[in-house]
Amino acid sequence: MFSGKKLKELRQEKGYSQADLAKRLQISRASYFNWENGKTKPNQKNLEQLSQIFKVDEKTYFLSEHDIVNTYLQLNPDNRLKLENYAENLLKEQEIVKPLPKLYSYKVFEKLSAGTGYSYFGDGNYDTVFYDEQLDHDFASWVFGDSMEPTYLNGEVVLIKQTGFDYDGAIYAVDWDGQTYIKKVYREEDGLRLVSLNKHYADKFAPYDENPRIIRKIVGNFKPLEI
């Protein structure tokens, strides 16, 4: 299994920032952030690029099992046999593992923000994550920022349905001034008032003459399961 922890340790050891590597790999910083935090993992092409940058073995180095395999390879034949026998006995002593629940995949797009604003979503870049419920939605995206805490947390997934305006105070994705916001929306005489759940953030006001558009309603959220 890919180890984001090992990637983070190696990056820090070599003196790279997350932004440095994202730029070299030609991916978004958000995608790279999700690798190190275990939400997603790099594909084969990205693994090959990482191994070339760090000059490590792409097949084993970034696996969480790398350390034990490396230790095994350093043992002499007699000690390897002892380790194999010990591991086999441990397996026999283990309790029977319960079957994993059925998991559902979600395509989670990058370009959406619960904070001060982010460029418009839907550019085709997405991560695949898993959850143990199948939830109705048209679109899923990452939450970046803390302005909608405690309901929508940084790093969670929000589920969105394409709809018009239903009622004041519902949570919507709003397109305004070339950016997209997740906010509580209130219709006022001259525009839309965009309100954060986190009281540390001031309200925003989107005048109607600037063409704000309510494009999607937030219908749910979840934290992806680590696989």
Supply the pLDDT for residue 150: 86
Supply the pLDDT for residue 63: 66
What is the arithmetic mean of pLDDT over 127-141?
91
Supply the pLDDT for residue 188: 95
| Residue 75 to residue 14: CA distance in whole angstroms | 29
Is the CATH code 1.20.1560.10 the one for domain 4-54?
A: no
Environment class of residue 173 by beta-carbon count within 10 Å: exposed (0-12), middle (13-18) or buried (19+)? buried
Q: Where in the chain is the domain with CATH 2.10.109.10?
A: 104-222
DSSP H or E run through 227:
none
Could you say which DSSP state residue 208 is in?
G
What is the arithmetic mean of pLDDT over 25-53?
88
Pick 104 or 110 by higher pLDDT: 104
Which range is least confidently modeled, 7-21, 25-39, 101-115, 195-209? 101-115
Backbone angles phi, psi at 72, to 5 degrees: -60, -45
Q: Tell me which CATH code domain 104-222 carries.
A: 2.10.109.10
Residue ranges in the chain assigned as alpha helix (H):
4-14, 18-25, 29-36, 44-54, 66-74, 77-93
Supply the pLDDT for residue 213: 87
In 3-state terms, the chain is what percent helix, strand and coil (to 5)? 30, 25, 45
User: Residues 184-191: contacts with CB within 8 Å, 24+ apart?
Assistant: 185/214
Backbone angles phi, psi at 159, to 5 degrees: -105, 135
Percent of the chain's residues with pLDDT above 90 = 26
Checking if the pLDDT of 124 tops 70, the result is no
Q: How confident is the model at residue 193 (pLDDT cuts 50, 70, 90)?
A: very high
Supply the pLDDT for residue 118: 45
Cα dist from 77 to 23, 26, 74, whole Å: 45, 44, 9
Supply the pLDDT for residue 67: 59
Q: Where in the chain is the domain with CATH 1.10.260.40?
A: 4-54
What is the arithmetic mean of pLDDT over 161-183?
84
Which of 148, 156, 138, 131 has the alpha carbon at shortest distance from 194?
Answer: 148
Q: What is the CA radius of gyration of the chain?
A: 23
Checking if the pLDDT of 119 tops 50, the result is no
- Mean pLDDT across the chain: 83
Percent of the chain's residues with pLDDT above 70 = 86
Supply the pLDDT for residue 120: 45
Q: How confident is the model at residue 47 (pLDDT cuts 50, 70, 90)?
A: confident
Supply the pLDDT for residue 145: 80
CA 15 and chain centroid, separation: 24
